[in-house]
Structure 1
Amino acid sequence: MTDFLLELRSEEIPARMQAGARAELEKLFRREMDAAGIAPGDITAWSTPRRLALIARDLPEATKAVREEVKGPPVGAPDAAIDGFCRKNGVTRDQLEERDVKGRATWFAVIDKPGRAMADLLAEAIPAIVRDFSWPKSMRWGEASRSTESLRWVRPLSGIVALLGDEVVDCEIHGVTSGAVTLGHRFHHSGDITIGSAADYAVKLRAGHVIVDHEERAAIIRDGAAKTAADAGLTLVEDEGLVAENAGLTEWPVPLLGRFDEAYLDVPPEVIQLTARVNQKYFVCHPPRTGEGDHPQDGGGAPSAERLANAFVCTANIEADDPAVVVEGNRKVLAARLSDARFFWEQDRKTSLAEHAKKLERITFHEKLGTVADKVERVAKLAAWLVSDARAPNGDHNLARQAAELSKSDLVTEMVGEFPELQGLMGGYYARAEGLPDEVANAIRDHYKPVGQDDAVPTAPLTVAVSLADKLDNLFSFFNIGILPTGSKDPFALRRAALGYLRLVQANGLELSLEQAAQAWGGLGRAKLGTQVAEFLSDRLAVQMKDQGVRHDYIAASREWAGQVDARTDRIEARARALGAFLDTPDGANLLAGYKRAANILKKEDWHGIEGEIAHTGEEDPLALVDDPDMKAVIDAKMAERKAGAVSYTPEPAESALTEALDTAAPTAARAVEAEDFAAAMAALATLRAPIDAFFESVTVNDADPAKRAARLNLLARFRDAVHQVADFSRIEG
């Protein structure tokens, strides 16, 4: 057994591509080994800005000879089929062997593959790996790039190290031949580095000021940046994404602390952090904590983001003789960026948000939905309704409308033009600087939330109203023009809007009818639109709750209310959770089994029960044909008697017991459902478990006596209907 080293060297590999490149290199290497029937030991993939490397351990020195048998056409098949089979497998007719396959003579090709030296196998595998490598972006270069068949790589490939043990694996790719020589750090090492084997690869590169292990570089940056800040009495703002990015930009990382002018701290801290992070890849720091006053107040009195210190940590790629020179160069570049940010901040505040909002009339939201200004008007109308008429949540409708009308104003500001990820946040800052009420500023700031699964969910009434209105407008608007998510395509992020809506409703305990919301949004006659959106939301609810251990069929069984999809997702969720808890008990599991048995019998007999007779047969309601109040009372009493299960024979004890249980459980469950106490409704159903079990054990449903058969089928129909008024058990699987 021996180890194999492969290094593919090029110019700068973008940091964002390196993790994917490491995974791709390992995947393609395993593909080649699997095709040869080889199972390598541990595989390690590394990357730096200038190289991809792979070490595969415990490779055999040669592959084993193998014999393969390939089934072919039956004896007597057309000559063309047999000749084609021979060509495909590289054999002649006289090499075929006849075998019996299920009583039929069949030709087999027996192919002996001799063992191959591992070096020869790798010499073919390396070009295949490079040729099939997938990069998000790649290029061709040199004279060969005139042809579209030439090699593509992220940057021009400049060197290959390929060593099996201490021997070079000879191969050539695009004019680059393999060898044992690599290069060290661009500035700290001159000349070639000769690698002896995989065992000394990392050691020799380290001597050349290259740390080839990306995880080690990340640890140096993470720990070094934190220590550098702590040594200055500061606290580093942790940013794991920035750690990984800096690790992908350096081969010899050296964290250094710098300072910038305190005057820039007047700019919102999020702007400073984004400027440092996005443009320069710098970390920022918090100042020393001195007590409860560390979290200053914005001008309007609401807590702002934690203050930043006038300090940054950059990651140099060299060990400078005078680090101060490196820091000063980085400080100047950052100062220029911060100066731009401060200019945007000051310029934007010269115009009120209301004036900025007028510019939204020039931005198209969607060709069928008008401008962003049109969207804002719809959101404002819906937000005002939510806090007043809907009371979901309660609040001042004038402030809700004001916050909604200004919520998108920052989209046309210079700052959001530079940093689109600050939309909403900057609107909140500008509103507070303008002297608008805190509730309005906070609603503008947070109305996009929650964006992701880990994002905080607003709870302030005004913010909740504007956030709900914004998400509902997206859903209602696009559903209204027939644009729905399909498969993996969701260009207008409607699934994200749906999940945001659900989290807002859940976190704030809201009871909001989407039918009513749709009519408030678009006028009377929009209830059907609300039902359509409710159905979509219930599907997203099923996905969300599946991650929480609630089965999707429990959602399906709970989404019906009064014969249609429930327009309140909170009610669907409450019923599904109560249903899940009930069915996890022995009573629930046994009742479900009894229900399915009853439902199967009724389906087989095509029996709808007394409740369904009129709808099923088209028979006129007898009370509708009677004008005499006394006669109506008589007929009503007779119908009630029928529905109560009156029969013309003496019922068996189990029949009577089930009838009595239904007389109590059905109305109890109905009242509990009406009160939205689904746990109590399930408890009422639990009382039916023993009677239905006893019924099936001792009663013959399809009795020879037609009266008994009809009465017992009606009793099962009553049982089914009592269960259905709580949840649609027919949707439950298993």
Structure 2
Amino acid sequence: MANTATLAFEIGTEEIPAFDLKRATEQLAELVPAALDAVRIPHGDVAVYTSPRRLIAVVADVAASTEALEEVFRGPAVAIAFDEAGRPTKAAEGFARGKGLSVDGLERRDENGTEYVYAVRQVPAQETAALLPSVLRGVIDDISWPKSCRWGTTSEMFSRPVRWLVALLGDEVIPVRYAGITAGRATRGHRFLAPGPHEVASADALVDVVRGAYVVPTQAEREAVIRDGVAAIEAACGATAELPAKTLTEVINLSEYPTPMVGTFDEEFLKVPEEIIVDAMLMHQRYFPLYDADGNLTNRFVIVSNGDPAHEATIVDGNERVVAARLYDAKFFYEEDLKRPLEDYVQRLDEVVFQEALGTMRDKTARVVKLSARITAAAGIEASEMRDIARAAYLAKADLVTGAVVEFTSVQGIMGSYYAAAAGEPERVARAIAEHYRPRFSGDAIPADVIGQVVALSDKIDTICGLFAVGQAPTGSSDPFALRRAALGVLAILEETGLPISLVETIDASLIIYREAGLEFDNASVRREIIDFFITREKVALRDAGVKADTIDAVLASCIEEPMVLAARARALEAARTHEPEVFADLATAFARANNLREIGLGTGYKTAELTAVERDLSDAVEAAEEAVAAALREDRFADALTALAALRAPVDRFFETTMVMDEDAEVRANRLKLLNRFANVFSHVADFGQMAKK
């Protein structure tokens, strides 16, 4: 592109929170080209560079000016724009005014014998350098932050205070103004290693100057530096580091010049449960634990420093002191908690409010125990397992008031399992306490056995039912109690385990328990809302799995309320559409032919004695299909139900080939329509095939 230059724009700030920086990086890649395009500045590719203290966009091949433009707009026909006397009408005046012209400035052009008025505007070329100050200021304003702040005496808001701006088009400074700062050519480097200022001669030099000032300017490069450093540490130590994606993302965006280093802590702390040590390092300090060849946690960990590598010993020593303090706290709380059996902590759950209208965690515990008993009875679970389920439900929340969980909240449930085992509780009870929060997110494992599965179901369903009953259902994108996640967890457990329970009956049981506890609410409307909530979650899951929307709606039209029944039937019907098109064609054709003629008001009580041989064959086939479909649905053999329905294709085809349904004799006609009504009713128990007939 002739007469072009590179544009470089840097927003220098105080340290931006890690995840906010990640989102801002993604936004900048879209905002900059969009802003340039909006004012018709020709440009090439946009590259984005970011670190905790800066957002940089570098745009290649930015034209020195916009191109002159002729804008042509067609208006109303001349016959509408002017009256018989040739005077402009309101239509012409409004059109001209809207285009910034007078009526006299409008042109007339003939199109296939019809004249129209046209507005023609000449937009002159503009110097890019003159447009950029407002364009780049707009980019700053358009970056969206979860939280923003004000600083100094200006009214602008940003994630963190803006301290410098660099804006260069080639070697020309673009005077962008923001929050009392005017952009120049001076950037800053690493806060400690090369603070600056550092002068930038031209836009092409900005990133190199930043690199030379000890700043690794992209997320990908910083991740590579960290991974390479960790790999070197692993090789030297003969250990393996755990690098969870969330923590790694945070660490990548916490440092401008990352340097992995190794720290150690006293082996005495390894007597504390591994999960609490890992929590203290990963969640609180952003250190990566190291494991030996057998997968056992070691007393070494990886630090990612943003300091001067020349002072590694001092940096490591400081971080080891921090870890020691956190692990000492963990060890202290753990040992103090063990001085009492887990059961003793249940009484203290009165100190923790679950939800203002729903009582304390002790109230919730009582409800979960009752609901677990109902689920256990409905599922026909053995008496020995019933006792373990009741015990696990009673103890599941007890660790919430222990010192370790109060200090390290992410290990709730896990610490309870340790305390339960220490108190002599059965192994399955202890494991259920640890796992009853599962699945915590999409793709997470469900509890390992039926003890944890029942407690998890009871806990999640109690939460959902209670919050719906007090008007705290999710709204739009707001779901402060994570009820959607809880519902997906319930569905995942039911899907993977096949527990023989009714979710609808379990919802009813939960609402009964709430009413018995004195909570007042409209049972019918709350019940309907909760069932619809679960059905909606299941519909989303099915669509994500590739089931067509009309397949789902067809099954729902048969008055299905159970999500697992919906899932099984929708999948079977979708499979018939996809893998057995001939079966689906038979189903759809058979239903459509009868459904087009049936009259529901006539009922299904036809006179058998008046049937012809072909009509009797159809009647016998319908009767057999009714029995086969009913048996298949009772036993959840939905594919067999579809096969039974498809078998009706042949007799109904013969019926239509040989029979005039709309006979002139009213009694004959009514008898045949009643037969078709009964035929169509067989389908209604399976799905509304009319929903898919057009497909």
Report the TM-score when normalising by structure 2.
0.88
SS in 2 for 1:189: coil
Equivalent residue number for residue 222 of structure 1: 227
Contact 1:395 1:462 in 2 (8 A): no
Show the counterpart of 2:652: 692
Give, as a single letter, the amino acid of the residue that structure 2 aligns with 1:112.
Answer: Q
The answer to whether the aligner puts 1:135 opposite 2:145 as a matched pair is: yes
The amino acid across from 2:268 in the alignment is A
Moved more, 386-395 or 658-667: 386-395
> CA 1:696–1:59 in 2, change beyond 3 Å: closer, same or farther?
farther
Structure 1 residue 598 displacement after superposition: 2.0
Match of 1:159?
164
Could you say which residue in structure 2 is the equivalent of 1:637? none
Alignment of 1:551-630 (within 5 A): 551-559=548-556, 565-566=560-561, 568-584=562-578, 585-602=581-598, 605=599, 607-611=601-605
1:718 aligns with 2:678: yes
Q: CA RMSD in A?
A: 3.1
Counterpart mapping for 1:445-460 below 5 A: 445-460=434-449
Asked if the contact 1:393/1:465 (under 8 Å) is kept, the reply is no
- Aligned residue in 1 for 2:53: 50
Which of these residues, 653, 663, 666, is aligned with residue 626 of structure 2? 666
Amino acid in the other structure paired with 2:582: P
Match of 1:116 in 2: 126
Change (3 A) 1:110 1:219: same
Q: Is the 8 A contact 2:192 2:308 kept in 1?
A: no
Q: Distance in 2 between matches of 1:193 and 1:75?
A: 66
Shift in CA distance, 610/491, structure 1 to aligned 2, threshold 3 Å: same
In the alignment, what sits opposite 2:413?
424
| Amino acid in the other structure paired with 2:305 | A
**Cα separation, partners in 2 of 1:83 and 1:133, compared to 1, 3 Å:** farther
Deviation at 1:332, TM superposition (A): 1.0
Deviations 1:404-455 (A, max 9, x none): 1111111122222223222212211221222211111111111111121121
Contact kept, 8 Å, 1:180 with 1:194, in 2: the verdict is yes
* Residue of structure 2 in register with 1:35 after alignment: 38
Q: Which moved more, 1:172-181 or 1:225-234?
A: 172-181
State the partner residue of 2:520. Answer: none
Mapping of residues 229-248 of structure 1, within 5 Å: 229-248=234-253
Structure 1 range deviating more: 321-330 or 574-583: 574-583
| Other-structure match for 1:549 | 546
**Aligned-partner Cα distance in 1 for 2:574–2:176:** 62
**C-alpha displacement at 1:285, in angstroms?**
0.8
Find the aligned partners of 1:699 and 1:58 in 2 and give their Cα distance.
77
Partner of 1:462: 451
CA distance in 1, matches of 2:642, 2:420: 50
Structure 2 counterparts to residues 76-475 of structure 1, below 5 A: 89-98=99-108, 108-142=118-152, 144-145=153-154, 150-189=155-194, 191-289=196-294, 307-391=296-380, 395-475=384-464
Q: Which amino acid in structure 2 is aligned with residue 61 of structure 1?
A: A
How far 1:317 moved relative to its partner?
1.8
CA contact (8 A) 2:13 2:162 kept: yes
Q: Distance in 2 between matches of 1:481 and 1:189?
A: 57
Letter in 2 for 1:24: Q
Q: Distance in 2 between matches of 1:470 and 1:379?
A: 6
SS at match of 1:610: coil
Q: Which moved more, 1:530-539 or 1:378-387?
A: 530-539
CA separation in 2, counterparts of 1:695 and 1:48?
Answer: 76
- Counterpart AA for 1:580: E
Cα separation, 2, equivalents of 1:559 and 1:127 = 52
CA distance in 1, matches of 2:135, 2:604: 75
Q: CA deviation at 1:531?
A: 7.0
Instruction: Check whether the contact 1:385–1:397 (CA below 8 A) recurs between aligned residues.
Output: no
1:9 and 1:87, CA in 2 relative to 1: closer, same or farther beyond 3 A? farther
Secondary structure class of the residue paired with 1:309 = strand
Preserved contact between residue 14 and residue 49 of structure 1 (Cα < 8 Å): yes
Segment of structure 1 superposing worse, 357-366 or 49-58: 357-366
Aligned pairs, number:
674
1:67 corresponding residue in structure 2: 70
* CA distance in structure 2 between the partners assigned to 1:240 and 1:271 by the alignment: 19
What secondary structure sits across from 1:8 in the alignment?
strand
**2:576 and 2:584 in contact (8 A); partners too:** yes
CA distance in 1, matches of 2:110, 2:588: 52
Contact map agreement 2:41 2:128 (CA 8 A) in 1: no
Once residues 491 and 209 of structure 1 are traced to their aligned partners in structure 2, the CA distance between those partners, rounded to angstroms, is: 41
Cα 1:478–1:214 shift into 2, 3 Å:
closer
Q: For residues 648 and 19 of structure 2, what CA distance do their matches in structure 1 show?
A: 61
Question: Once the two structures are superposed, what CA deviation does each residue of 1:432-480 show, in whole Å capped at 9, x if it has no partner?
Answer: 2222111111111111111211210113121111111112222333344
Quote the Cα distance in structure 1 between the aligned partners of 2:528 and 2:92: 62
Question: Aligned-pair distance for 1:86?
Answer: 5.8
Which deviates more, 194-203 or 539-548?
A: 194-203
Whether the aligned pair in 2 keeps the contact of 1:392 and 1:510 (CA below 8 Å) is no
Deviations 1:290-327 (A, max 9, x none): xxxx5xxxxxxxxxxxx311111111123432422221
Residue 322 and residue 515 in structure 1: after superposition, are their counterparts in 2 closer, same or farther (change >3 A)? closer
- Give the Cα–Cα distance (whole angstroms) in 1 for the partners of residues 196 and 568 of structure 2: 70
Distance 1:455 1:500, change over 3 A: same
- Alpha-carbon spacing, 1:345–1:82, altered in 2? closer, same or farther (3 Å): farther
> 1:729 is matched with which residue: 684, 689, 693?
689
Cα distance between partner residues in 2 of 1:373 and 1:56: 60
Q: In 1, Cα distance between the equivalents of 2:372 and 2:609?
A: 54
Stretches of structure 2 that go unaligned for 5 or more consecutive residues are 517-522
* Contact map agreement 1:387 1:462 (CA 8 A) in 2: no
Is the 8 Å Cα contact of residues 42 and 63 (structure 2) preserved in structure 1? no
Give, in angstroms, the shift of residue 677 of structure 1: 2.1
Q: What do the CA deviations read for 1:517-574 (whole angstroms, capped 9, x no partner)?
A: 356546599996767644432332222122112234434443577xx544x4433332
> How far is 1:213 from its partner?
1.8
Deviation at 1:403, TM superposition (A): 1.2
CA distance in 1, matches of 2:495, 2:503: 15
Matched residues in 2 for 1:318 and 1:231: separation? 22
Please tell me whether the aligned partners of residues 510 and 570 of structure 1 are also in contact (alpha carbons under 8 angstroms): no
Q: Which amino acid aligns with 1:404?
A: A
Aligned-residue sequence identity (percent) comes to 39
Task: Tell me the secondary structure at the aligned position of residue 179 of structure 1.
Answer: coil
Deviation at 1:106, TM superposition (A): 6.7
- Classify the secondary structure of the residue corresponding to 2:315: helix
Aligned partner of residue 368 in structure 1, secondary structure: coil
Q: How does 1:635-714 map to 2 (within 5 A)?
A: 642=606, 645-647=608-610, 650=612, 653=614, 655=615, 657-714=617-674
Distance 1:190 1:440 in 2: 57
SS in 1 for 2:71: strand
Query: Against the structure 1 CA distance between its residues 663 and 156, is the aligned structure 2 distance closer, same or farther, given a 3 Å change threshold?
Result: closer
Provide the C-alpha distance between the structure 2 equivalents of 1:343 and 1:32, rounded to a whole number of angstroms: 56
TM-score (norm 1): 0.84
Comparing 423-432 with 519-528, greater Cα deviation is found at 519-528
